[in-house]
Amino acid sequence: MKTVSVILARGGSKGIPKKNIIDLNGKPLLSHTIKSSNNSIVSETWVSTDCPEIKECALEYGALVLDRPIEISGDKSKSEEALIDFAKKIDFDILVFIQPTSPMLSKNDINKGVQMMESYDSVFSAYKEHWIPRWTIDGKPHQWDINDRPMRQDKEELFVENGAFYITTRKRLLSSGLRYSGNIGIYEMDMLKSFQIDTLEDLDLIKKLMS
C-alpha cells in the first residue's frame, strides 16, 4: 500500500497575502507541514500549487510538486477539485490531505492517523469541544433555550474538525468526490495544536505557541 500526502497551497489569499509562504519563526509557513510529512511514514510528500514562488519553496524544503491548473485555483475552487486532479495524475493507495495553515501538526499525528486506516475507510483530525452557549449574528440563542439554559455537563461533547488533515483512499476519493467517505474515524488532537492560520492575529498567536 502506497501512502502519500498532498498539501494544497494555491497562490491567492485574501486574508494574508502570500499566506502559505509567510514567515513563521524564521521559516515559511508551508515548510512546517512539509517537514512533518517528510518525517512521517508517508512515502512521498507533494504540494499542489498554481504559484511559482510556492513551488520554489516546496522544492527547497523537500516536497514534490504538482502544478495545479488555474481553473481550479480560484477563490471559489473547492479543495476536492484539486484532490481529484491529484488522484488522477499521481499513483497512490492512501492519501493524507494536509492543510499548510496547520503548522502545529506533527509527524506523530500523521502516523497515528494513517494507522487508523486499518480500521476505517477515511479519517480526519479534530479536537473535542465542551458545550458553550452560542448566539446567532442577530442576537438569538443558537440551538438552546434562554429560559432553560443547559448545564455544560448535561450537554454532549462534540468533535470539531481542525482542518489539519484528512485521510482517504484513492478509490474512495475518485468514486465519492469527497475528502472522506464510508466508515469515518476521528483522530483527536489537542485544542492547542488545532489552531489554523487564517488571519494575522492567528499568525501572532501561533508564533508565540511555537516559540
Q: What superfamily in CATH does domain 3-126+161-188+195-210 come from? A: Spore Coat Polysaccharide Biosynthesis Protein SpsA; Chain A (3.90.550.10)
- Selecting among 68, 134, 149, 170, the annotated active-site residue is 149
179 among known catalytic residues:
no
176 burial type by CB count under 10 A (0-12 exposed, 13-18 middle, 19+ buried): middle
91 burial type by CB count under 10 A (0-12 exposed, 13-18 middle, 19+ buried): exposed
Question: Could you give the count of Cα atoms lying within 13 Å of 135 in the half-sphere of its Cβ?
Answer: 6
- Model confidence over 141-181: pLDDT tens digits? 999 999 999 988 888 899 999 999 999 999 999 999 999 99
pLDDT (0 to 100) of residue 12: 76
- Model confidence over 50-93: pLDDT tens digits? 999 999 999 999 999 999 999 999 888 999 999 999 999 999 99
Residue type at position 34? I
The closest of 210, 202, 206, 205 to 13, measured between CA atoms, is 202
- Model confidence over 103-148: pLDDT tens digits? 999 999 999 999 999 999 999 999 999 999 999 999 999 999 999 9
Distance CA 196, CA 79 (A): 16
Q: Where are the domains of the chain?
A: 3-126+161-188+195-210
Strand partners for 24 = 27
For cell 485544542, what's the residue? 191
